[in-house]
Amino acid sequence: MRAFFTENRNLIIAGCISAFLIAGSGFFLYKSIERNTLALNDLQEISGKLTRIESTTPSPTAENLSDRHSQKEDAKNALEHLTADLKALDLPVQELTPPEFQKTLNERAQSLAKLAESYGILIPPNFYLNFDRYSKSVPKPEVTPLLGRQLQVATLLSEMLFRTGPTELKTFERTEFDLERDPSVTAKEATTGKDKDKAKDKEKEKAKPKTEPQKPLLTGQSFKLQFVTRPANLREFINSLASQKTCLLVTRSLKVENEKQKGPAKRGPEGEGLLAAGAAPTPNALGGSPTENVQGIPSAPAADVGQFIVGDEKIEVTIRVELVSFLEELAKRP
């Protein structure tokens, strides 16, 4: 027997180790199955609770009703406070006569022209904030107060823009009121629009219950500006729009384009590499300045080599800003 163990010692050791490993694997497999079973039981229990919660309706107890009424009142009070804070930013519509509006318009136009000139900003000729028709004729009395408030906002936008130092103001547009337009043109456009979908509108009107249209909570007046500036100046203008407290202005759209659509050339017209911003000039073959010829006489640098500094290029910006108001206003042209 002793000889058998001696001769098969390695085989016996390997068998013991294998048996131990098989036993350990079986133990871990058993534990894994047990944990998996417990996890499935927990999942089924939670799923059952969730199904019962989703399929049941809370009982209308006095406590539940009290909580719902309390939440409703809290939401109502929060909305009222927010509305009050926003209404505080509303610009009042002041009574203004047509001659007074025309006088104010001329004064504002002259003041903005002087401001633009002091900052070296190029503006359109006869810049009247898109109120050009009223530079020589007075507006209708019924729309004059609204035009006065619109002029106040247009002046505010122009002053904020000019103080950020743009290079050029290309266009300034505003939303026109329907009362400003020719009644015959308005009636013609309305008739044309109705004729296109007349049959569909009749079907829709028959299907809809007759109810009075709900008045909108908010009204808006849009202003569109197109100007040339630098990225840092644009950021300053956007920040000034958000931080001003005169009225509630919302940026609806912003389009930015590089003034130069193509990047700088990598090499000059004669094959010389363009100098990077801040790089030292390379001496010529004789050790002199690159602007000196062989005889040492200064020569003019190549005129075709352009200058382009990344980060300092100009951009063309088109932005639409909207004046949001809670005041009831007359219908406006969208």
- In tens digits, the chain (334 residues) has pLDDT values of 667 667 667 777 777 787 777 877 777 777 778 888 888 888 888 888 888 777 776 666 778 778 888 899 999 989 888 877 777 777 888 888 999 999 999 999 999 999 999 999 999 999 999 999 998 899 999 999 999 999 999 999 999 999 999 999 999 999 998 888 766 555 555 555 555 566 566 666 656 665 665 666 667 889 999 999 999 999 999 999 988 888 889 999 999 998 776 666 655 554 444 444 444 444 444 444 444 444 444 444 444 444 555 556 899 999 999 998 876 554 443 3
How much is the pLDDT for 310? 55
Q: Does 27 share its domain with 161? A: no
Q: Does 249 share its domain with 316? A: yes
Q: Does 108 share its domain with 236? A: yes
Residue 222 included in any domain:
yes
Residue 124 included in any domain:
yes
| DSSP class of 323 | E
Q: Does 111 share its domain with 177? A: yes
Q: Domain holding 318: CATH number?
A: 3.30.70.60
Q: Does 115 share its domain with 252? A: yes
How much is the pLDDT for 45? 87
Residue 293 included in any domain:
no
pLDDT in tens, 288-303: 444 444 444 444 444 4
How much is the pLDDT for 333? 37
**Rounded CA separation 75/226 (Å):** 41
How much is the pLDDT for 136? 87
Give the residue among 229, 122, 112, 225 at the shortest CA–CA distance from 166.
Answer: 229
The answer to whether 173 and 224 are in contact (CB under 8 A) is: yes
Q: Does 40 share its domain with 164? A: no
Residue 81 included in any domain:
no
How much is the pLDDT for 155? 95
> Whole-prediction pTM value?
0.58
Whole-number CA gyration radius for the chain: 39
Q: Does 34 share its domain with 105? A: no
Residue 65 included in any domain:
no
Residue 332 included in any domain:
no
Residue 90 included in any domain:
no
Q: Does 154 share its domain with 227? A: yes
Dihedral sign of CA atoms 294, 295, 298, 303 in order:
negative
Residue 282 included in any domain:
no
Q: Does 118 share its domain with 24? A: no
Q: Which two tokens stand for residue 271?
A: 């094959």
Q: Which SS3 state, helix, strand or coil, does residue 64 take?
A: helix
**Rounded CA separation 78/81 (Å):** 5
How much is the pLDDT for 2? 66
Q: Which of 6, 27, 47 is the last residue of a domain?
A: 47
* Residue 139 burial (C-beta neighbours within 10 Å; 0-12, 13-18, 19+): buried
Domain range for 119? 98-188+218-261+312-325
pLDDT in tens, 235-290: 999 999 988 888 889 999 999 998 776 666 655 554 444 444 444 444 444 444 44
How much is the pLDDT for 290? 44
- The count of domains in the chain is 2
Adjacency order of strands within the sheet including 315-325? 168-174, 219-229, 315-325, 249-258
